[in-house]
Amino acid sequence: EPEVTQTPSHQVTQMGQEVILRCVPISNHLYFYWYRQILGQKVEFLVSFYNNEISEKSEIFDDQFSVERPDGSNFTLKIRSTKLEDSAMYFCASSQAEDEQYFGPGTRLTVT
Amino acid sequence: QKEVEQNSGPLSVPEGAIASLNCTYSDRGSQSFFWYRQYSGKSPELIMSIYSNGDKEDGRFTAQLNKASQYVSLLIRDSQPSDSATYLCAVNRDDKIIFGKGTRLHILP
């Protein structure tokens, strides 16, 4: 069964450093998303991406965040200058249409 | 008003019984509704989607939607210890999913 994959599973970085989180969505899916979940809190939407552009973003997704689909398979989330409060699980998701979204296993980001 | 509300639990249900999970949402224009299961330290796993009023059954799971009351529920029949997890109610709005905080379900052996 096809699935969303994410790398790395755990990333530790120092405050102020740039990080890139990588995702490979399900191959025939057209819509891509990033969510985050701070420990003990709910899953929060960050951004949706379709047809090579951002279609929706939340207030969390400020100028420090960017997304890219550099080739036909990868979808990346970049945080330019990490803060302590960026520590969270980051989930990539994909969907065939604007409906059921399937989540990857997540990347745990720890900012020290 | 919170967009998607769930009782945080824990909800304790004996093995073999029916677990009933409830959710309300605030945006009357929402069209798509989902239940995800999340084990501790893992990602959300889609278990049910529902788009129209009424019931939708899939194996031991039944989702119920009442748009007039802005209410979604999930019934799990013949509960198993492996059903112990946090269940997330989610609503699709403007090309994003809004999640509730989740209800922790504990199945008692």
- Say if the Cβ atoms of B46 and A45 lie within 8 Å: no
DSSP state of B83: G
Digit-coded pLDDT (tens) for A61-97: 999 999 999 888 899 999 999 999 999 999 999 999 8
The Cα A74–Cα A20 span in angstroms is 12
Please list every residue in chain B whose beta carbon sits closer than 8 Å to the beta carbon of residue A104. 43
Digit-coded pLDDT (tens) for B10-66: 999 999 999 999 999 999 888 899 999 999 999 999 999 999 999 999 999 999 999
Please list every residue in chain A whose beta carbon sits closer than 8 Å to the beta carbon of residue B40. none
The Cα A18–Cα A80 span in angstroms is 4
The Cα A25–Cα A103 span in angstroms is 9
- Classify B16 in phi/psi space as left (phi over 0), alpha (psi -120 to 50) or beta: left
- Say if the Cβ atoms of A100 and B43 lie within 8 Å: no
Please list every residue in chain B whose beta carbon sits closer than 8 Å to the beta carbon of residue A98. 92, 95
> What does each C-alpha distance from B35 to A69, A71, B98 come to in angstroms?
28, 32, 11
The CA R_g of chain A, rounded to the nearest whole Å, is 13
User: What does the pLDDT read at residue A1?
Assistant: 80
From first CA to last CA, the distance across chain B in angstroms is: 37
The Cα A6–Cα B8 span in angstroms is 29
**Burial of residue B35, with CB atoms counted within 10 A of its CB: 0-12 exposed, 13-18 middle, 19 or more buried:** buried
User: What does the pLDDT read at residue B1?
Assistant: 61
